[in-house]
Chains A and B, each alone.
Chain A
């Protein structure tokens, strides 16, 4: 598995994408070195994990807010005595 991620996966992606990029002598619009390709795809996976994590956190916070709103304890009590 480690070998696949470290060597075979970048090799495979570089072969596929580079063959597509150089087939008609096109300008490479994406990094072509295996290490860059590997870094970019890993970063994309981490980026999505971060997004999902943030969404989960926001959703939890929203659920908590909605629970408090349902209980009605978020509203300001105008009759509450003021402490000087």
Chain B
């Protein structure tokens, strides 16, 4: 009875029937690559999970150099199921970045970025950068020796960029070195600036997807293919996949809870065998390929410039790939995508195993 009254109350004010009609009219193509459509939904689900667990952790976390590490230990050891939410937040972040990468490479290989969907690619790419920065800023929250050294290396690496490098380094660190100021700055990024930016971009990304509809790979576009309504068919399938992902995150959180190292000491040397988060490994291994100096120039600076050019080229692919723009097959960009993917996987594995 109350439910009916509420329903009537809402329906008197808003045209729900029209919204339902709109949701049912959205069609999703069915083909052999349609599993890639679900990777975007999984990423969105993981983002939501990160927001919820992050908000819960924020109740107890103290973003101060003297208390940050202790507050995390309190969350893990004293707060009721605090260890669980921290572990879910950790594994949610890892899987979120995995699925952002799968979604990105899927888009690249099926040429879903082609005209008129360039802005979907742009917003998605910026969301990838934001996700990685989420990871880096969240990593420092722990304020243990590994996080401290990793952020020192990452911000130092950014400092090697010519012209703007030093500005970026000082801006990120809030000074010349990683200190308590960096922690506060990263906390502000992690809980205020990046969430607002990501919400805006997710909104834009979804809006563009709704506006243009789902993309169909060039090889299938001209063939006959089936379509199914987004609501309820694809929505229910999304639900099932989200449940499995939730189960995986929870299982990982219970079976492999993330470790906490020793408290960061700015005066101590970095611990041996230190490695950054897995999504930075390909960059680290690329830096190792370059010698210290090349024709009198700093090798690290040249390496950072090369990686930046590679990433910038990656970003510009929708605007360069003319054949896809015309709706033709473009094998060159398929090869480029595979090379990028193989390089990323190989270098990450090399970094992981070395």
User: Which residues on A are within 8 Å of B, measured CB to CB?
Assistant: 26-31, 40-41, 44, 47-48, 51, 54-55, 58-59, 61-62, 65-66, 69
CA distance A54 to B254 in the complex (A): 21
Name 17 extra pairs, CB < 8 A, besides A30-B254, A54-B243: A26-B260, A27-B73, A27-B76, A27-B259, A28-B77, A29-B87, A30-B257, A40-B254, A44-B250, A44-B254, A47-B247, A48-B247, A55-B240, A62-B236, A62-B237, A65-B233, A69-B229
Report chain B residues within 8 Å CB of A26: 259-260
Question: With A65-B232, A66-B233 known to touch, is A58 a contact of B239 (CB < 8 Å)?
Answer: yes
Question: With A44-B251, A58-B239, A62-B233 known to touch, is A29 a contact of B83 (CB < 8 Å)?
Answer: yes
- The residue on B at minimum CB distance from A25 is B262
CA distance A73 to B213 in the complex (A): 26
Question: With A27-B77, A29-B257 known to touch, is A59 a contact of B240 (CB < 8 Å)?
Answer: yes
Most buried by B among A40, A58, A61: A58
User: B195 interface residue, CB < 8 Å from A?
Assistant: no
CA distance A47 to B260 in the complex (A): 27
User: B246 interface residue, CB < 8 Å from A?
Assistant: yes
CB distance from B51 to the nearest CB of A (A): 21
CA distance A27 to B269 in the complex (A): 21
CB distance from A11 to the nearest CB of B (A): 18
Report chain A residues within 8 Å CB of B73: 27
- The residue on A at minimum CB distance from B236 is A62
CB distance from B112 to the nearest CB of A (A): 25
Q: Which 5 A-B pairs have the closest CB atoms?
A: A29-B257, A27-B260, A62-B236, A51-B247, A30-B257
Report chain A residues within 8 Å CB of B246: 51
CB distance from B94 to the nearest CB of A (A): 15
- The residue on A at minimum CB distance from B247 is A51
Q: Check A31–B83 contact: CB distance below 8 A.
A: yes
CB distance from B33 to the nearest CB of A (A): 21
Question: With A27-B77, A61-B236 known to touch, is A55 a contact of B244 (CB < 8 Å)?
Answer: yes
Q: Check B243–A29 contact: CB distance below 8 A.
A: no
- The residue on B at minimum CB distance from A53 is B243
- The residue on A at minimum CB distance from B241 is A55
CB distance from B116 to the nearest CB of A (A): 30
Report chain B residues within 8 Å CB of A31: 83
CB distance from B77 to the nearest CB of A (A): 7
CA distance A31 to B247 in the complex (A): 20
Q: Check B250–A30 contact: CB distance below 8 A.
A: no
- The residue on A at minimum CB distance from B21 is A76
Q: Check B236–A58 contact: CB distance below 8 A.
A: yes
Report chain B residues within 8 Å CB of A29: 76, 83, 86-87, 257-260
- The residue on A at minimum CB distance from B255 is A44
Q: Check A55–B243 contact: CB distance below 8 A.
A: yes
CA distance A41 to B258 in the complex (A): 17
Question: With A29-B83, A30-B257 known to touch, is A51 a contact of B236 (CB < 8 Å)?
Answer: no
- The residue on B at minimum CB distance from A61 is B236
- The residue on B at minimum CB distance from A59 is B240
Q: Check B243–A51 contact: CB distance below 8 A.
A: yes
CA distance A41 to B251 in the complex (A): 10
- Residue in A28, A30, A47, A51 whose beta carbon sits within 8 Å of that of B244 in the complex: A51
Q: List 6 A-B contacts (CB under 8 A).
A: A27-B260, A28-B77, A29-B83, A29-B258, A47-B250, A55-B244
CB distance from B73 to the nearest CB of A (A): 6
Q: Check B260–A58 contact: CB distance below 8 A.
A: no
CB distance from B185 to the nearest CB of A (A): 26
CB distance from B48 to the nearest CB of A (A): 17
- The residue on A at minimum CB distance from B232 is A65
- Chain B, 255-281, contact with A by CB distance < 8 Å: what is the 0/1 string? 001111000000000000000000000
Report chain A residues within 8 Å CB of B259: 26-27, 29
CA distance A28 to B83 in the complex (A): 9
